[in-house]
Amino acid sequence: MIRGQAWDQGTKFKANTNATMHILCGCTETDSQIMVTYTVEEKDTLSDIANLLSAEVDEIENVNKVLLQKPGFIKVGWVLFVPMYKNGVPPRPPSPPSPSSPPSSSSSSKKRKDFKWAIVFGVLLTVIGILLCLSILMFMKRRKNQENDKENQKAVSKTMSFHKSMASGQIRYLSKENMEGITGFDTERPLVYDLDEIAEATNNFDDSRKIGEGGYGSEVAIKKMRSNKSKEFLAELKVLCKIHHINVVELLGFASGDDHLYLVYEFVSNGSLSEHLHDPLLKGHQPLSWTARAQIALDAAKGIEYIHDHTKERYVHRDIKTTNILLDNGLRAKVADFGLAKLVGRTNDDDFIATRLVGTPGYLPPESVKELHVTTKTDVFAFGVVLAELITGKRALMRDNREPNKMKSLITVITKVFEEEEDPEGALVSIRDGSLRDSYPMDDLYKMAEVSYWCLSEDPMNRPEVREVVESLARIVMSSVEWEASLGGSSQE
């Protein structure tokens, strides 16, 4: 294996013979694409992989010429480089109609349909163009600031190498057992920061820079915890050092000292999904449109799918909730806070028994509460609650109006719609988030509620895999974008 790309074992080399090997570097990125790796699984095709990771088949073939010498032929276990589009594959212009084709009796309806798609493509291309322009402007501005102020650059410096920092004793507050876990990381990224850099970046942890419980930041976000939480620290460190995905918050490095441990993340500027759903106006946010909610759901599902199915080891997050889904300036979602993440196998028997109940009340499935069982279906159940929050705008646990001293679960609200109501659509409309008003497509609202109900199945065997949830939500997003385009590009009245 060379940097993740397998060399054809069928090639035979003779002793003392020089051979040229073209080795592709997988750590490349442009404004619109990022290179990721994918391990081929049973029944995969290049078309499936391209659809799954927002890529083009011909571009995958171009960067994997060593392996893909036979058109369309791939083997289980191959590691492919995939040039993934950050904002989805740009739509291709429709082919012009053949001049020799006879006129159809439904030509007028076809023209209307083509015009409708033209509007959708136009909106998407405009959004992509604006995002590219903004990215270029932000890059130029940041570069100028770095040149004018080297001291500020030092505050978020990433130049200290991993081995140099290890030698300087910056992780001296971790136990010997945890030290062994850290030295086993397989990464080329600089990981260890000097404690002085952390203090400078946070202005000595000034409360004015506090962005959440245990978190500080502006250009970066720094999570601070006491050293007696080193197991949680190490769990998050081990997971995030090996995960690089557009829908997962990226770990930049870590530090320790002064009886505290520090994780340094990319700064996700728009706060948590919870802030945008529950009393958003009081927190300085506008209510989310329906299309934004659908896209956030798809982004978060893709982040969870990545840690379940597309990493070398499979992880269970164990604390999926709206406060652990962060939004950037474009309201695109990233999954955060892997402090409770647990490694599981890739066999059919991939569950394990936890030694204690972990997670957040309101998001825990029955098997975790009763028997402490944890599987990937644990995350699926919690994500079903997140979908219910996106639909209703309500919290996972809320006061019961009939019995103020008791808490009511959002899970029961959704299950009642499909199990007890004679008119599920009417019941769903009555519980949907009032801030949506009437600006939402009823079909897509109902389909998302069905996905939520599916995820909330009491029996984990009846719940979908996250990849099935991603497929369903992708169709909902496409349909919602078409609906919004039919309104003139905005779902807000």
Question: Comparing 153-157, 271-275, 304-308, which segment has the lowest mean pLDDT?
Answer: 153-157
pLDDT of residue 419: 93
pLDDT for 81 beyond 80: yes
Q: Within a domain: residue 14?
A: no
On whether both 347 and 438 belong to a single domain, the answer is yes
Do residue 179 and residue 286 come from a single domain?
A: no
User: Which residues are bridge partners to 29 per DSSP?
Assistant: 34
- Which CATH number does the domain housing residue 229 bear? 3.30.200.20
Q: How far apart are CA 304 and CA 314, in angstroms?
A: 11
Q: Which of 101-105, 155-159, 457-461 has the highest mean pLDDT?
A: 457-461
CA dist., res. 79 & res. 235, Å (int): 26
pLDDT at residue 154 in the model: 41
Q: How far is CA 72 from CA 44, 49, 57, in A?
A: 11, 12, 9
Higher pLDDT, 390 or 86: 390
- 186-190, 363-367, 446-450: the lowest-pLDDT one: 186-190
Give CA–CA dist 475/470, Å, rounded: 9
The answer on 278 and 236 residing in a single domain is no
**Enclosing domain of residue 461:** 273-486
Same domain for 216 and 189: yes
Q: What is the DSSP letter of 248?
A: B
Most confident of 237-246, 272-281, 369-378: 272-281
CATH number reported for the structural domain that contains residue 332 in this entry: 1.10.510.10
* pLDDT tens per residue across span 390-405: 999 999 998 877 777 7
The pLDDT of residue 162 is 30
Using alpha carbons, select from 130, 115, 91 the residue that is nearest to residue 478. 91
Structural contact between residues 464 and 383, judged by C-beta atoms closer than 8 angstroms? no
**Whether pLDDT at 445 is above 60:** yes
- For residue 139, being part of any structural domain is answered with no
Higher-confidence residue: 452 or 30? 452
Same domain? For 338 and 451 the reply is: yes
396, part of any domain? yes
Comparing C-alpha atoms, which of 470, 192, 168 is closest to residue 305?
A: 470
Asked if residues 233 and 225 have their Cβ atoms less than 8 Å apart, the reply is yes
The amino acid at residue 308 is H
- Pair 337, 299 in one domain: yes
Same domain, 315 and 239: no
Last residue of a domain, one of 46, 69, 89: 89
Percent of the chain with pLDDT strictly greater than 90: 32
Q: 31 lies in a domain?
A: yes
- Give ∠ CA 209-214-215 in degrees, rounded to 5: 40
C-alpha angle 457/333/285, rounded to 5°? Answer: 105
The Cα angle at residue 31 between residues 311 and 122, in degrees rounded to 5? 105
460: in domain? yes
In sequence order, what are the residues at sequence separation of 6 or more whose Cβ sits closer than 8 angstroms to the Cβ of residue 248? 240, 303, 306, 307, 334, 335, 336
8 Å CB contact between 368 and 293: no
Which residues touch 325 (CB under 8 Å, ≥6 apart)? 272, 273, 274, 296, 300, 333, 334, 335, 336, 386
Last-in-domain residue among 238, 266, 294: 266
Predicted TM-score (pTM) of the model is 0.59
Provide the pLDDT confidence category of residue 180 given band limits of 50, 70 and 90: very low
- Give yes or no for a contact between 128 and 87, defined as CB atoms under 8 angstroms apart: yes
Q: Is the pLDDT of residue 343 over 80?
A: no
What is the band of 109 on the pLDDT scale with cuts at 50, 70, 90? low
93 confidence band (pLDDT: 50, 70, 90): low
Question: Which CATH number covers residue 74?
Answer: 3.10.350.10
Residue 18, pLDDT > 50, answer: yes
Residue closest to 265 by CA, chosen among 199, 336, 213: 336
Domain boundary among 233, 266, 299: 266
Per-residue pLDDT, 45: 87
pLDDT reported for residue 376 = 92
Residue 65 lies in a domain: yes
**225-234, 326-335, 346-355: lowest mean pLDDT where?**
346-355
pLDDT band at 244 (very low <50, low <70, confident <90, very high): confident
Same structural domain, 290 and 402: yes
Is 319 one of the annotated active-site residues of the chain? Answer: yes
Structure-block tokens of residue 437: 């008003």
State the pLDDT at residue 424: 94
328 within some domain:
yes
Q: Is the pLDDT of residue 141 over 50?
A: yes
pLDDT of the residue at 214: 44
- For residues 177-190, average pLDDT: 41
> Which among 337, 387, 346, 391 is positioned nearest to 363, based on CA atoms?
387
User: Which pLDDT score, from 0 to 100, does residue 3 have?
Assistant: 39
Whether residue 83 is found in the same domain as residue 164? no
With the C-alpha atoms ordered 477, 479, 480, 486, is the resulting torsion angle positive or negative? Answer: positive
The per-residue pLDDT for range 193-210, each reduced to its tens digit, is 777 777 776 666 665 555
Residue 69 sits in the same domain as residue 169: no
53 in the same domain as 37: yes
The catalytic position among 31, 58, 194, 319 is 319
Is the per-residue pLDDT at 187 higher than 60? Answer: no
In this prediction, residues 278-285 reach a mean pLDDT of: 92
Is residue 456 scored above 80 in pLDDT? yes
> What does the pLDDT read at residue 412?
94
User: Does 106 have pLDDT greater than 70?
Assistant: no
> Residue 24: which residues within 8 A CB-CB, separation 6 or more?
3, 5, 63, 81
Q: Is 211 a residue whose pLDDT tops 70? A: no
**Residue 136 counted as domain residue:** no
Please check whether residues 244 and 293 belong to one and the same domain. Answer: no
Total domains in the chain come to: 3
The number of residues in the chain equals: 493
3-state secondary structure of 459: coil
As a whole number of angstroms, the distance between CA 93 and CA 70 comes to 29
